[in-house]
Amino acid sequence: MSVTNIVISLLSVFSILLLSATFFISSESEIYRLISYFDYVLCFIFLIDFFNQLVKARDKKSYFIRLDG
């Protein structure tokens, strides 16, 4: 397992924790807005990682069909 995969895994757990926290915070609060910004940044990081793995995949079609990623 590479360092990148470990970082992405930790960011995934962090993202889930942040989204879980939004259930207990008022949607008008600044904390809620800050969590939303962090979530957008994390989604952008996950999107970059997805395209990075897609580019590195030997067979792009099987990356989607067989979930080789």
Separation of CA 31 from chain center:
20
pLDDT at 69 over 70: no
Averaged pLDDT, 10-27: 94
pLDDT tens track for 39-62: 999 999 999 999 998 898 888 888
Contacts of 34 (CB under 8 A, 6+ apart): none
Structure tokens belonging to residue 4: 């990148």
Domain span including residue 26: 3-65
Q: At what angle do helices 3-21 and 30-56 cross, to 10 degrees?
A: 150
Helix H or strand E segment including 33? helix 30-56
Number of domains in the chain: 1
pLDDT at 37 over 80: yes
- Taking the C-alpha atoms of residue 36 and residue 55, their distance in angstroms, rounded to an integer, is 29
pLDDT at 67 over 70: no
Looking at residue 29, its pLDDT comes to: 93
pTM of the model as a whole: 0.81
